[in-house]
A and B are shown apart, each in its own frame.
Chain A
Amino acid sequence: MNSTRKTLLAGAALSVIMSTSAMAAEKLVVVTSFPNTLTTPFEAGFEAMYPDIDVEVINKSTSSAVKYIQETASSNTTDLFWASAPDAFEVLKGDNLLVKSGVSNAKIPSDVGGYPINDPDGFYNGFAAAGYGIMYNERYLAAKGLKPALQWDDLAKAEYFGHVGMSAPSRSGTTHLTVETLIQGDGWEEGWAKWKFISGNFSNVTERSFGVPDGVNSGQFGLGIVIDFFGLASRASGFPVDFVYPQTTAIVPANVGIIANAPNEDAAQAFISYLLSVEGQELLMLPDIRRLPVNADAYFNAPEGFPNPFDGSIKASVSFDVNKSGERYNVVNSLFDVMITYRLDDLRAAVRAVQLAEEKLGDSDNAQAKALIAEARALIAEMPIDEAKSLDPDFAAVFKSKRKAATDVIEGRQAEIEQQWDEQVVANYKRATELANEAASLL
């Protein structure tokens, strides 16, 4: 290429680049984990209200989005972070990457179903809520001769062995909240025991929360613990699935927050105001989106049968302690992964052995077998730490490993502790399997 052509091309390229940025008067950059079906109506509605502002939505998975915002902080180009679970927002808040929006709406109560809607410190706003429940594939259940599970306890029943799917709390903030809700509702020991026996029925622990509705839609497994809009959207798309809320559910919020050093903070605040207004909130009830508005006034125009968390049509576990949840966040993640996710095969073998032994036992009165089965159950349910330890700040610090000052020294290493737990649970599950088999042989 001769030099005239080169310079012409360079000039053309430059002018194209410069003109694209000159076209919109103002830009609002939003990094989000929400799908297009949710972001597009809001983008359209906001741009209709503010024709001078061009909204650019960048879609990333929640963990990629958090890392992206962390790494680009020094020359930040993002205005808003718009995602579900609060844990991502807590991480950004802890890194001082969020600023207070200063936006509020009088029609939004302080909490929904026992869970606070906004960040108490004001760094992020809740704009929608969702409930957790059980989704199931009708064809699958019909083929296997199963009835749908309607309550959490049902999922631990022997007939659902190998038919249930869920994501892990470390992979999905919303799943974490569900796990934590059950633990707070039933108590540390009882709650974890219930999770172990439900997990014993898992066919797998999916890597991302969307893997659960995906798996139920494909018929890979029959029942999934999912967030409501996944289940309902799947049914609306034509899949042979259905969704139920258990009697007490977990209500989980979705949030939005302004990034520190945002290029266009004013537009960001306007967007949040729009999200919280009745016009914006009513968009949440569209069939493609199907989330629960947090603005009480939005329910005046709600479609028939749309659940309302403010009038009791969805019941949530009361008095969710956010502080407890925050203090032991990483500990709970680690416990679940070590005891359940990484040793799923061992856990399943143990739980199955107990289920088979109990089936054989039936109504009979064999005291020895009963004792063995009870011991096996206790071994499966055994926890390496008690609740007090989980809330102990020094212990939890091992898992956070975020030294606030250079002189802070934390005793103990996460890998070391996890290795101890791992040894313990593997031994427990093995012993439980042996005991249950022994019980079965007696019957």
Chain B
Amino acid sequence: MEQQSTIAGQKPSNKRSFTDRIFPSLSGTALAAIFIATLLFGFLILPVAKVIYVAFLDPNSGALTLQNFGDFFASSLFRESFFNSFYVSAMSVVLASVFALPLAYITSRFEFSGAALIQSLGFIPLIMPPFVGAIAMQLLFGRNGSFNLMLANYGINIPFMEGLNGVILVQSVHYFPFILINLSASLRNIDRSMEESAQNLGAHGLRLFRRVVFPLAAPGYLAGASLVFIKVFDDLGTPLLLNVNNMLAPQAYLRISSIGISDPMGYVISFILVAFSVFSLWASFLLMRGKDYATTQKGGGGLSRRKLSTRENVVAYGIVIAILALVLSPHIALGLLAFGTIWSYSPLPDGYTLGNFNTMFGQSGAYIKNTLIYAGAAAFLDIILATAIAYIVLRTKIVGRQWLDYMATAALAVPGVVLGIGYLRTFNDFDVPIIGKPLASWWVIIVVALMIRRLPYALRACMAALQQVSLSLEEAAENLGATRSRTIRKVVIPLMSGGILAGFVTSFATAAVELSATIMLVSSNSDAPLAYGIYLFMQTPSGRGAGAALGILAVVIVAAGTMLAQFIIDRERKTRTGDQ
């Protein structure tokens, strides 16, 4: 590697001594890349490989073979499952966009007093506590849920939650915040002058949005859309909730988690999930190749906002409230479940009580504390890693840097149970020095699992943010004498702050309710997070109310944490740009 010189006007020194040829001194970014690659390899690739390698073995003779993959493609059930997964993912992106675009458009184009409402509530659908979230949705939208019971008087029954369409609806409601948050972040980063130039040339309103604003915001939209697509393709929680078995991810899970059967097909499917997810990511890169989304900004001015007339205000509020009511309905149902006594085959609970909260608070102190620590640490580590990977991929010329992105994103495709088993297998024999326990039993491993599983969310947000930062700003900084690390710290990261926040929010919100890897790794109740606490409550019929109460508490805590993060970053942004 050449010596890097960042002092303007000086000829780079090309003399390399003998030792330099053998041990080329690596730049900071190269070292960072190697460190991250090792981290991802050690905590993702290796543990997963230890579990999935079974896919390449012939179960009968133990020899290496690709026959299992042949079996996969020869099986009509698997081919159907593959197609179903693809169809559901694509339609979920479409429906999620339908929810997200109006909200993003309204908040970014207009002086809308409800913007704060959208910003603070828009990510809550991501926080779906395990088990109770599912029950709440069934009680509201199920075939005998509140809506259908009321419609039964008219002889109508709407299959909201049946089959593939049910999966599409639930997934869109659950994951549309990915598009909303990332799209909003990019819209806020577009320079006003771009818009003004277009208006000078005669473009207005919708045409302006379609031709100028939306293309400039494309990195954010594509980040969100690709995340929704890949996540829905790999998600097994919702299909299991709706008992839809003929999709790929639940097929893998059912085969892997059955007791005793050593069926390689579960691992074959896992491998195919990973491969297809990386392929989808690569395909989304093709869409963005060769285009430049950066605008030279003063630092986050954002689009100019038009005032709304009263009538327009009412319409805007109507749309926003309708969409929010739909996407927050599971949480409303969860609230009813938490405060309700018995809710069985009726539109609303039979009665209301605070008893569930009493029960819950009495048992959940440790869970709450652990969740804040685990999810907070995981999200924080995620944004550091994500910023570093985004910088390496987009700003350096290091060989193989794209693979950092692929590796990190592949984590979306790995079922939590596979990661959990992989960690147990890899780290159980590795004793942590001072603590004296195997790494697999130390609570830090849960943080690592959460960090790895949520890294893709932070990464997509940071990539989108960095794509909007113009290279010329960094070059200007370096021309003025800043070293690379100073430039990154003082110029790049502040300009990326919207995306970094988006990454933190999505990582934190989803890490707080993760259960599948956690349940495998928890080795002591005092180390358990909230999601595990909900699992414990949900094992008995009488615990349903307390479980829902804990679920609501999870939502409140995560919402509070993310709003705090938003507040801190927005305040910093305002002092920097000095407006509004």
Contact = CB atoms under 8 A, between A and B. Distances in A.
Contacts of A57: 525
B519 interface: yes
Contact of B345 (A34, A66, A72, A218): A218
A67 B264 CA distance: 16
Given A57-B525, A71-B421, A220-B142, A401 B59 contact: yes
Given A64-B257, A75-B429, 11 more contacts: A58-B524, A60-B519, A64-B420, A68-B523, A87-B259, A207-B254, A218-B345, A400-B261, A401-B59, A413-B59, A415-B264
A36 B75 CA distance: 42
Given A58-B525, A219-B344, A411 B245 contact: no
A414 interface: yes
Interface in A320-340: 329-330, 333-334, 337
A48 interface: no
B542 to A, nearest CB: 4
A218 B343 contact: yes
A44 interface: no
B254 A415 contact: no
B254 A171 contact: yes
B261 A399 contact: yes
A264 interface: no
Interface string A61-81: 111101110011011010000
17 contacts: A35-B543, A36-B540, A59-B525, A72-B428, A74-B429, A75-B428, A75-B429, A170-B258, A214-B544, A218-B135, A219-B345, A234-B541, A239-B541, A334-B261, A337-B254, A342-B246, A409-B60
B64 interface: no
B45 interface: no
A67 B421 contact: yes
A91 interface: yes
B71 A77 contact: no
Contact of A403 (B60, B68, B441): B60
Interface string A400-419: 11110010011111111011
A206 B425 contact: no
A205 B240 CA distance: 10
B261 A333 contact: yes
A238 interface: yes
Contact of B135 (A61, A214, A330): A214
Contacts of B261: 170, 330, 333-334, 399-400
Nearest to A401: B59
Interface string B247-267: 000000010011111111100
B344 A333 contact: no
Contacts of B62: 403, 406
Nearest to B538: A210
A411 B60 contact: yes
Contact of A60 (B76, B264, B522): B522
A173 B261 CA distance: 13
A143 interface: yes
Interface in B192-221: none
A86 B560 CA distance: 45
B271 to A, nearest CB: 14
Interface of B: 59-62, 67-68, 71-72, 74-77, 135, 138-139, 142-144, 240, 243, 245-246, 254, 257-265, 341-346, 417, 420-421, 424-425, 428-429, 434-435, 438, 440-441, 519-520, 522-525, 535-536, 538-544
Interface string A233-249: 11011111100000000
Contact of B424 (A71, A341, A418): A71
A203 B243 CA distance: 10
Interface in A299-349: 329-330, 333-334, 337, 341-342, 344
A184 interface: no
A106 interface: no
A72 B144 contact: no
Interface in A9-61: 14, 17, 34-37, 56-61
B218 to A, nearest CB: 39
A213 B541 contact: yes
Nearest to B436: A17
Given A37-B542, A60-B522, A63-B257, A218 B142 contact: yes
A225 interface: no
Nearest to A56: B524
Contacts of B135: 214, 218
Contacts of B265: 414-415
A72 B429 CA distance: 8
Nearest to A69: B424
A60 B541 CA distance: 17
Contact of B262 (A173, A221, A402): A402
A257 to B, nearest CB: 14
A90 B260 CA distance: 9
A240 B428 CA distance: 47
Contacts of B254: 170-171, 207, 337
A423 interface: yes
Among B60, B344, B434, max chain A CB count under 10 A is at B344
A230 interface: yes
A75 B525 contact: no
Given A67-B520, A220-B142, A415-B75, A59 B536 contact: yes
A204 interface: yes
B68 A140 contact: no
A401 B541 CA distance: 38
B139 A218 contact: yes
Nearest to B142: A220
Contacts of B139: 218
B103 to A, nearest CB: 31
Nearest to B542: A237
Given A139-B344, A218-B142, A414-B265, A75 B438 contact: yes
B434 A77 contact: no
Contacts of B421: 67, 71
Interface in A81-118: 87-88, 90-91
A400 B258 CA distance: 12
A401 B77 CA distance: 22
A437 interface: no
B523 to A, nearest CB: 7
A334 B266 CA distance: 13
Contact of A88 (B59, B259, B538): B259
B60 A35 contact: no
B542 A410 contact: no
A35 B59 CA distance: 36
Contacts of B243: 204-207, 211
A88 B535 CA distance: 20
A349 B160 CA distance: 20
A419 B519 CA distance: 33
Interface in A382-407: 398-403, 406
B539 A36 contact: yes
A67 B59 CA distance: 19
A333 B429 CA distance: 34
A217 interface: yes
Interface string A248-283: 000000000000000000000000000000000000
Contacts of B543: 35, 37
A236 B542 CA distance: 8
Contacts of A143: 345
A416 B72 CA distance: 9
B257 A342 contact: no
A414 B59 contact: yes
Nearest to B71: A415
B520 A401 contact: no
A142 B400 CA distance: 66
Contacts of A233: 540-542
B520 A413 contact: no
B344 A137 contact: yes
B135 to A, nearest CB: 6
B144 A219 contact: yes
- Most chain B Cβ neighbours within 10 Å, of A139, A143, A413: A413
B144 A140 contact: yes
Which 9 pairs from chain A and chain B are nearest by CB? A219-B345, A71-B424, A35-B539, A415-B71, A204-B243, A401-B59, A234-B541, A237-B542, A410-B60
